[in-house]
């Protein structure tokens, strides 16, 4: 039995970043542990948990400290200016959904390493969504959009580059 949780900490409740980070930690570790236990994990897969999630935790600490400071009434004009200049980016930052993992393969597609959008897709003639395809907890190769490999935690590991598909499959899906 594996228990996933979140350590006690103090942060502003805006965006529920603590819950989002805890869920992302559990999902990131969970699929990697499952692949390892089943003998399907490529070499070094479990080490990627620390490599990916430690920087996320450090970033959450920095951003929640900044949010606490920006909560002061005298900084309201700065807060408003930031919201005007980078509203969507700030929303993604404070909710923790802006995380981009190193895909460990070459490429510069804007989705590479980011959470896959829950888009409608067609697989074997059947309409479904990315979220439905991820339910079994295995990587998914989606033919739509020129091809996309999505890790079980919902992050895009490869997009539409035939030259790097083999490397992506070896890196994230194992034997």
pLDDT tens-digit series, residues 138-157: 999 998 889 999 999 999 99
pLDDT-derived band of residue 132, with 50, 70 and 90 as boundaries? very high
- In this prediction the pTM is 0.76
Handedness of CA 121, 126, 131, 133 (dihedral sign): negative
The phi-psi region of residue 59 (left if phi > 0; otherwise alpha if psi is between -120 and 50; otherwise beta) is: alpha
Q: Write down the pLDDT at residue 2.
A: 53
At residue 112, does pLDDT exceed 90?
Answer: yes
State whether 69 and 138 are in the same domain. no
Q: Which of 28, 62, 95 is the last residue of a domain?
A: 95
The answer to whether the beta carbons of residues 10 and 17 sit under 8 Å apart is no
- Residue 1: per-residue pLDDT: 47
Residue 168 lies in domain:
120-172
Final residue before a domain boundary, out of 95, 112, 130: 95
Per-residue confidence (pLDDT) for residue 106, from 0 to 100: 94
Q: Is residue 81 part of a domain?
A: yes
């Amino acid at each position: 039995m594996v228990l996933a949780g979140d350590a006690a900490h103090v942060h502003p409740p805006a965006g529920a970043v603590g819950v989002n980070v805890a869920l992302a930690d559990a999902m990131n570790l969970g699929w990697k542990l499952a692949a390892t236990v089943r003998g399907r994990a490529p070499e070094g897969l479990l080490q990627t948990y620390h490599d990916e999630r430690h920087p996320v935790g450090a970033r959450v600490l920095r951003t929640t400290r900044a949010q606490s400071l920006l909560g002061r009434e005298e900084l309201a004009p700065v807060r408003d200016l930031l919201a005007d200049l980078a509203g969507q980016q700030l929303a993604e930052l404070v909710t923790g959904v802006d995380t981009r993992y190193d895909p460990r393969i070459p490429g510069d597609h804007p989705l590479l390493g980011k959470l896959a959008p829950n888009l409608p897709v067609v697989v074997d003639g059947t309409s479904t969504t990315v979220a439905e395809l991820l339910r079994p907890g295995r990587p998914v190769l989606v033919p739509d959009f020129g091809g996309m490999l999505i890790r079980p935690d919902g992050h895009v590991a490869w997009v539409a580059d035939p030259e790097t598909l083999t490397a992506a499959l070896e890196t994230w899906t194992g034997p």
